[in-house]
Chains A and B, each alone.
Chain A
């Protein structure tokens, strides 16, 4: 049949790609967990890992710290979002909150740890400002601080979006029915948000549990699963079999949390209509929440302050005069500068290829009439990529591609990033494509377009703002990811984040911070640029609509 030929081609390409770069590697991890380095099948690695006292301790630590961080982050994110949606605080201040809350997302997690060390450590910036060390940074406290800063942007984005979709008129109904303020809060904010709050909790738990960057720098004696995995694989005595077992155990909480998220989705309350209302006056409430939100953001962002200071000082904390020496040194060091160029190149290529791939996937599921089974395959791929932590994918690639021409090349890093982050871009694309009018393809075909022409002339221009968003998502994440590439970046294919890990051994903090600043500014510029482009293309779509509307009115 002629119909769907192109879609089926796209599907086949996607299926082959993910079979090769997701299914085969994951299966090899499973096999390795039984065979180790040899070929004999045994459970010895499981026994070794599970009976080793260190591992169970690390597992417990991971769960404990992740639950604490997830809980704290969800509460803090809720307060920030509440300030934006339910207080009469000034518009500018609200804007500032929403922007500041997501800033840490633009930095690699490995930087967080060093920022904490240089802020709260013995010679840290904030320690000096306060005159004493506030708390011991290595171990639980440092991890908690790092994880909260790391996951706050994600939890905030989730809750903030959901709050925007709550019909605030229910507050009026509730008040008219004689509810006390506490009951109104419970009935019109808390209950509709329960699903989202649970989602935020689980999502942040998952991120903390699988992150490698933060424990790499401030974990100290507090071993977590991610650091165990790193030592098993790249420590002084690598043990691939044990590494595979640890990796598989790392997947379990992810699978559980994603399953729970899937179930929760059904319980989200949906409103037909969002009506803006004038909020009840409450000066005390407004002031309290404004101060609280300000305090939360100052606390999270203050630890990054050091990044902007230390690299510009001769020798922290002994010779405190301003200098551009360190910054210059990075740019003059062809190796470091080269690493930056590598990172940008990897990020651009990841974004480009990733956007095309997720667009293709979304075209199959959202704009074609192929059988439900094929669509289900793509949806499942997205779901699976969402459950597998970056470190595990990296490890799987290490198993499969070592000794092949792909080993230590840029393509393998790019592919790893694409697979690792596939889920969100795919869902963004699918969501946007399925909202478009379903008869466009038919209409265009009746006018004589073939399928490709329709996609190029009609669907793509209308999806442009989402495509740009997806591109920007891939770009930023490829710039900051450390967990997925730590196992597969070679000496010639260093990216900034793996370089930072290496610099850590030599205590080269100036370089670490300069490189982090480079990532931050690159991301800020990239995001601003894509925002702008997306806004332009959105406006073009909208003006077209308005024009059509006014034409109708005039008629």
Chain B
């Protein structure tokens, strides 16, 4: 279980995160949702260990990680633009971490991952030849090979279009289930957050606006911000979809 206790962070005197406390259960998919500049990326960087907290504690399985350096925490991340090494091919990227720790994943485990993410046919390709969705899957595989205790995903879907988006969503869910992996996703898209995760944490202005299951957030928005910015957006989308499918819905209603 990951616990944050009263975590604070300021940049040049401007507070970015004010007193954040939260618990995340093992195997849970949690989305951190908020507008740009709300502090969600900083929160991700704090958990990963790229930046140090000014105050408070980060605890994982009763161990205080607040002052533990990034590479010793055992967490890992897939960046928004994937950060794949352009001078290596797909397979070399996926197995990059094994050069340093060969025992971390077995041959079969790597092959399973490649199969699960559907990357068999791309293994010898150079990174520049891949599409966005393929890059995302390679980056995911490269990170999973390291068997992270927590998987962090920074805007995993924002660079992808339409159908690919949905299929990557499924892959992320499958991986989290298959490996019973705690997954933390940063996103600015309410639809993405609410359809992908077990629980959603909405951040506004460095503070947690609401942290709960998707249905709770829809049913009981706790404050004006959640209502105005999160639900409103979904409402507009819903209405657009209803208008599009108006004919079909009427037919269905008549059948019933």
Where the two chains meet, the residues of A that have a C-beta atom closer than 8 Å to any C-beta of B are 167, 169-170, 172-173, 175-180, 183, 187, 191-192, 269-273, 275, 277-278
- With a cutoff of 8 Å between Cβ atoms, the chain B residues found around residue A179 in the complex are 100
Q: Which of B81-89, B108-116, B162-170, B210-218 contacts A (4 or more CB under 8 A)?
A: B81-89
Task: Report A176 CB to chain B, min CB distance, Å.
Answer: 5
Cβ-defined partner of B100 (8 Å) among A169, A170, A178? A178
Cβ-defined partner of B50 (8 Å) among A170, A172, A177, A191? A172
Taking a contact as CB atoms under 8 Å apart, the answer to whether B71 and A169 are in contact is: no
Residue on B nearest A179 in the bound complex, by CB: B100
Taking a contact as CB atoms under 8 Å apart, the answer to whether B83 and A167 are in contact is: yes
Taking a contact as CB atoms under 8 Å apart, the answer to whether B96 and A177 are in contact is: yes
Taking a contact as CB atoms under 8 Å apart, the answer to whether A183 and B86 are in contact is: no
Taking a contact as CB atoms under 8 Å apart, the answer to whether B70 and A176 are in contact is: yes
- With a cutoff of 8 Å between Cβ atoms, the chain A residues found around residue B146 in the complex are 176-178
Q: How far is the CA of A29 from the CA of B81 in the complex (A)?
A: 54
Q: How far is the CA of A175 from the CA of B101 in the complex (A)?
A: 12
Taking a contact as CB atoms under 8 Å apart, the answer to whether B71 and A270 are in contact is: no
Q: How far is the CA of A178 from the CA of B48 in the complex (A)?
A: 14
A-B contact pairs, 13 of them (CB 8 A): A169-B83, A170-B83, A172-B50, A172-B70, A175-B70, A176-B146, A177-B96, A177-B97, A178-B101, A183-B100, A191-B87, A269-B87, A278-B50
Interface size on B, residues (CB 8 A): 19
Residue on A nearest B146 in the bound complex, by CB: A177
**Does residue B77 face the partner (Cβ distance < 8 Å to A)?**
yes
Contact with A along B45-75 (1 / 0, CB 8 A): 0001011000000000000000000110000
Q: How far is the CA of A350 from the CA of B151 in the complex (A)?
A: 60
**Does residue B79 face the partner (Cβ distance < 8 Å to A)?**
yes
Q: How far is the CA of A278 from the CA of B97 in the complex (A)?
A: 23
Taking a contact as CB atoms under 8 Å apart, the answer to whether B77 and A177 are in contact is: no
- With a cutoff of 8 Å between Cβ atoms, the chain B residues found around residue A270 in the complex are 86
Which among A177, A180, A272 has the greatest number of chain B C-beta atoms within 10 A? A177
- With a cutoff of 8 Å between Cβ atoms, the chain B residues found around residue A167 in the complex are 83
- What's the A-B contact tally at a CB cutoff of 8 Å? 47
- Within B146-189, the residues touching A (CB, 8 Å) are 146
- With a cutoff of 8 Å between Cβ atoms, the chain A residues found around residue B101 in the complex are 178
**Does residue B136 face the partner (Cβ distance < 8 Å to A)?**
no
Residue on B nearest A192 in the bound complex, by CB: B87
Taking a contact as CB atoms under 8 Å apart, the answer to whether B100 and A177 are in contact is: yes
Residue on A nearest B78 in the bound complex, by CB: A173
Q: How far is the CA of A124 from the CA of B142 in the complex (A)?
A: 61
Task: Report A149 CB to chain B, min CB distance, Å.
Answer: 34
**Does residue B31 face the partner (Cβ distance < 8 Å to A)?**
no
Q: How far is the CA of A167 from the CA of B87 in the complex (A)?
A: 14
Q: How far is the CA of A169 from the CA of B70 in the complex (A)?
A: 13
Q: How far is the CA of A205 from the CA of B112 in the complex (A)?
A: 51
**Does residue B76 face the partner (Cβ distance < 8 Å to A)?**
yes
Cβ-defined partner of B76 (8 Å) among A176, A191, A192? A176
Taking a contact as CB atoms under 8 Å apart, the answer to whether B71 and A176 are in contact is: yes
Taking a contact as CB atoms under 8 Å apart, the answer to whether A273 and B87 are in contact is: no
Given the interface pairs A172-B50, A278-B51, the reply to whether A187 lies near B97 with Cβ below 8 Å is no
Q: How far is the CA of A187 from the CA of B83 in the complex (A)?
A: 13
Q: How far is the CA of A178 from the CA of B75 in the complex (A)?
A: 12
